[in-house]
Each structure stands twice: as structure tokens, then as C-alpha cells.
Chains A and B, each alone.
Chain A
Amino acid sequence: MSEWDGRGLPPVAAARMARFQGSGLRTSLLPVSGAAGVESVGLHPVGEVMGCIVEHIGWTGWGGCGYYGVGGLGGFGGALGGIGGFGGMGGGTVSSGRGGGRVGLVGYRPYVEALYRGYGTAVDRMVTEARAMDADGVVGVAVSVSQLGSGNREFVTLGTAVRADCSARPAEVFTTDLPGQDVAKLLQAGWAPAGIAFGIAVAIRHDDWATVRQASWGAGNTEVSGYTELLTTVRADARHRFREAVAAAGADGAIVSKMGLEVWEIEPGENHRDHVAESTVTGTTLVRFHGGHRSPTRSLTVLPLR
């Protein structure tokens, strides 16, 4: 097996594309209803396409929560941690998103960039395959991430490339995680899917005394404002970055398909507990191509007999 430098497609994938161009055999991952759907709007499946990258995420750029001046423990970025004076209770949430100078280098920024690179490369490689098949779009894309251990993660995108039954060609191959039926419904109503968009953010917050008190056994009914702030901040940042991605693509809107959230606890030092939250928003950007204000279709009221 030859050494591959990471550019373009791996040799086996390139060989598969060459085989495809030679034989012209069509394959598809779409179920019957999905295939019938895309055919009904003049998109013909040409083949299944995949993009994959295994990434080692070794440096998360932990810069500390900015409490007790522990920033120095975090390594490179840590010293810039500063005090996050949020809410006047000490502690404070440091987030990867929207940061100005103060949090620019801390708060898991390198980790978030690595996740973006993972998702982005997987989509790009899938699109490269689709382009090699002379396709116009990829529908029903499944995006998955799996942990392979030792800090390695695999990002995979898998979808069905389609070619439009017309002379116009999109500037870029469109991608969508919506199933074939949904693509058909959108196109019939005057909307076209444009691309898969991601919004990812990570935030970290120190468990200050107020948080510890509010979350303790005898606290009674109370909102734990520190954790609420952490989760609100990380979701807001992820949604903000998602919106930025949609705007950057020049799309008219987006349908969110998944909003994931993970929270975990770290203990970087004695008597020092932090909580880290990661939020990922995934969706498909849309563009409108019908002229009028209203969509051109009218729904029929139908009652299925089953």
C-alpha cells in the first residue's frame, strides 16, 4: 500500500471512482420512497459516496476556567485565561465561540477547531467523490462520529449522489442530511437544499461556592444558576456559529436536524472542579427559488386508511 499524503482522495477511493467512471453502474443507498421522491423532482441517483477522516485530538487547548488564576496549569493557552467576571460570583463561563481577545486562545478553541476540521474534511471528501461522479448533489447524508480510543476519532459522511435532469448546474455540489422524500417536498414547494452546516461550541465553568451550595443535598428547590449559565452559553454559541455558517454560505435559511449536548466533569486540581459542555448543531441550509411570497403547492387533506 502506498503512502498517501492526505490530499484528495485515498488511493482506494480514487480507484473506486475510476471503476465507477469505467462501468457506469449506478448504486444508491436510498430506500424505495426516498428514491421515488428524488426521481419525481428530476434528480437521478448515481451512486453512493463517502467521506471519512480519522483524527487524533491530542491537544484540547484547555486554558482553565479562569478561576484562582489556575490558567497556568493549562499549558500554552492557560496564562491568557484571565478572570471571567460573569455574574459577579467569581468563576464564570469561558466559551470557545464568539470570543474576543480575552478568550481567543483559551476555552477549548483548538479542540473545537479540530472538530470543525473533522466534520468539514469528511463532507469535503464526500463531495470530491460526488464531483468525480459528475453529480449535482448528495442527499440523505448520515453524519457520524465514533471514538476509536487513544484520542482518535473517526468522522464519516455517507450519502447518495444525485444528478439533475436539466442543463443548469449548481456552482457547488449541494449536500443535505434530509432524506430523499424531504428533498422532493422542498423542491416542489420552491426550496432547494444547499449544504450541511455545523455549529460547534465548547464552554467550561468552575464550580464556585454558589454552584456547590445550590447543587448540594440540602439546597431545596433552587435553580443552579452556574450550570444554567454554562449550558445556555454553550448552546447560544453553537447556535450563533450555526447561523454564521448559514449566512456565510449565502443561504436563505436552515432546518436544524440535530442539537446535541454533552456535559462532563473535570478535576484539574485538588478541591477544584470544573464542568465542560459541548454543543453541536447540525442542519441543512436552504435557498428559495420560487418567485412569489407563497409556496406554489397546496396541501391536500388526506386521511390514510390504515
Chain B
Amino acid sequence: MTADPTALGVPEDAMRRLAEMRPGQATSLFTSDLSVNEFLLVREAGFRPLGLVLGSSIYHVGFQFGRWNRNQELDTLSQAMYHARELAMTRMEAEADLLGADGIVGVRLEIDFKEFGNDLAEFIAVGTAVVADHATPDGRPWRNNQDKPFTSDLSGQDFWTLVQAGYAPLGMVMGSCVYHIAHQRFWQAIGNVGQNVEIPQFTEALYDARELAMSRMQAEAEHLAAEGIVGVQLLSLAHRWGGHTTEFFAIGTAVRPLRADHIIAKPQLVLPLVDQ
């Protein structure tokens, strides 16, 4: 940020505005879950925050035993993770719809296993609904092809850079796969004692599970007619299912181009004089 504070009338104008505050006066009020950096950058990217939106679902995650010695997806659990996240996201989008939003930025999608019940988890999606100041350069709406507000889990900084570079977010896309990795058979384990070897079945299981998660994420992006997915995270979440059952979760933001060139101003290099 560069600006001469005194030229802007800081702090004189600020103090005068604070002196003029009238409790109860009608203003176009917004609330936001963004940090100050994000709030200012989202404004600068040409979006106005409308309000904090959230969706939540308390979900009972069913039970499924993996065969002790078999690599397999536990589809009951995969479906639970999908369905519950879907419920939370849909409810958040519905709130944003009510506010007349073009999109939701800074979405956090979290899972919180609750202490008050076995296998109970809260799936919660929180973000800030925003409306664009201007139409897109190509005349298409900011909302995605499902006529839903776009969603993005990018930080305000990343969101600003994305829009500057001529891309529009379409929606958060995700793929989930809960996988049971087989235990080694007794003779197999004995055979490996004292040796440095690859355990092919473990390697294969991890490949398999990640591939399933990523292909599901890609399918969602194709559904939104996206050009690509940015900010992908590929997470292994153990949750509470013990060492051999893991959720592989891929999540990212699907984007489409707003214009043909994607050039942003060359960043200035700075050498920060702080030690962190």
C-alpha cells in the first residue's frame, strides 16, 4: 500500500467521520469473515463484501469394516464425506443467494468431530459473500454455469492475483476417497524383516486412493466447464478411523479465463528486514 496519509486526510477525516456516527442510522451494512488484508484486496479487485455466510451439517458417519488384508475403497465412508460436505456447501450457497451475491470468497471447509456423540462430525463451510462492481469483460455472468454464486477457497491475496491475471473463479471442486490399506500377511512381513524393500501393495494402495480422489475432483471441474483448477491441496486425513483407513481429499478452485492474455505487472522484489 502506498499513499501519503496526510494527503488522504488521515487521521483528521477518520476522526471526523467517527464523530459523525449516529447510532441506529441506516447504512448499507456488511459483515465479513475476511482478514483486513483480504478485505482491502477483495475491494480492490472490484468486489464488495455483502455478508458472512455459512452452512453446517451434523452428520453421523456410518461404519464400514475394511477386509483386513485387502486394499479397498470404503465407499460408505466416501459417500458420507461427500454428502455431508455437499450439504454444508449447498446451505452456504443458499445464504449467499439470498443476499444476491455473485460469489463467495475465502471459504473454509472444516470437519469437526464432536465430543458428544460417537461418529458425529460437524461439516461447516464459512465464507464471505461478495458482489462484483462491474460485469466481466467477456459479458458472461460472474455466477457459474449452474447459476450458483462462484465459490473459492483462495485467500484474498490469491483471489486478487487471480482476477488481476484475467481469470474468474467458478467454484470449489473436490474429490474424496476413503481407503483401507491392507495389512501385510504374516509370511510377507516375516519375509521383509531386515531388508530394504518396497512394499508394492502399500504403494499401489496410495496411488489408487489419490487417483480416485483427484479424478473425482477433475470430474467436478469438467461439470463446471472450467479451464483448470488452481490452488489444489491433496490431503491425507486420518480422522478417527485408525492407521489403515485414511481419507484422501483433493480440493481446489476451478477457474475460467476472462481474457486472452494473462499478464500481471512484474512484482517488485523487496528484502524484508524482519527475521521470520
User: Could you say which interface size class chain A belongs to?
Assistant: 35 or more
B24 touches A220 (CB 8 A): no
A192 touches B18 (CB 8 A): yes
Smallest Cβ-Cβ distance to B46: which chain A residue: A294
User: Could you say which interface size class chain B belongs to?
Assistant: 35 or more
Smallest Cβ-Cβ distance to B20: which chain A residue: A171
* Chain B nearest CB, measured from A126 CB (Å): 17
The B-contacting residues of A in range 218-273, CB under 8 angstroms, are: 218-224, 227-228, 231-232, 235, 239, 242-243, 246-256, 259, 263-265
A166 touches B11 (CB 8 A): yes
Binds B, one of A11-19, A38-46, A96-104: A38-46
* Distance between Cα atoms of A3 and B161 in the complex (Å): 60
* B27 located at the interface, meaning its Cβ lies under 8 Å from any Cβ of chain A in the complex: yes
B160 touches A299 (CB 8 A): yes
* A209 located at the interface, meaning its Cβ lies under 8 Å from any Cβ of chain B in the complex: no
Point out the residue from A166, A283, A297 that lies within 8 Å of B12, measured CB to CB.
A166
Known: A187-B5, A217-B118, A259-B126. A250 touches B272 (CB 8 A): no
Smallest Cβ-Cβ distance to B122: which chain A residue: A231
* A9 located at the interface, meaning its Cβ lies under 8 Å from any Cβ of chain B in the complex: no
Mask of A165-199 contacts with B, CB within 8 angstroms, 1/0: 11111111010001000100111111010100000
B133 touches A224 (CB 8 A): no
B30 touches A254 (CB 8 A): yes
**List of B residues within 8 angstroms of A187 by Cβ:** 5, 10-11, 14
Mask of B239-270 contacts with A, CB within 8 angstroms, 1/0: 00000000000000000000000001111111
Mask of B28-64 contacts with A, CB within 8 angstroms, 1/0: 1111111111011101100001001010111111110
Known: A223-B60, A299-B41. A42 touches B36 (CB 8 A): no
B17 touches A300 (CB 8 A): no
Point out the residue from B3, B11, B52, B83 that lies within 8 Å of A42, measured CB to CB.
B11
* B19 located at the interface, meaning its Cβ lies under 8 Å from any Cβ of chain A in the complex: yes
Smallest Cβ-Cβ distance to B58: which chain A residue: A227
Smallest Cβ-Cβ distance to B39: which chain A residue: A255
* Distance between Cα atoms of A233 and B120 in the complex (Å): 18
B5 touches A298 (CB 8 A): no
Binds B, one of A60-68, A84-92, A117-125, A285-293: A285-293
**List of B residues within 8 angstroms of A217 by Cβ:** 63, 118-119
Smallest Cβ-Cβ distance to B32: which chain A residue: A255
B29 touches A299 (CB 8 A): no
What are some 6 contacts across the A-B interface (CB < 8 A)? A172-B18, A187-B5, A223-B58, A227-B58, A296-B3, A300-B1
Closest 5 CB pairs of A and B: A170-B18, A289-B17, A227-B58, A182-B36, A168-B15
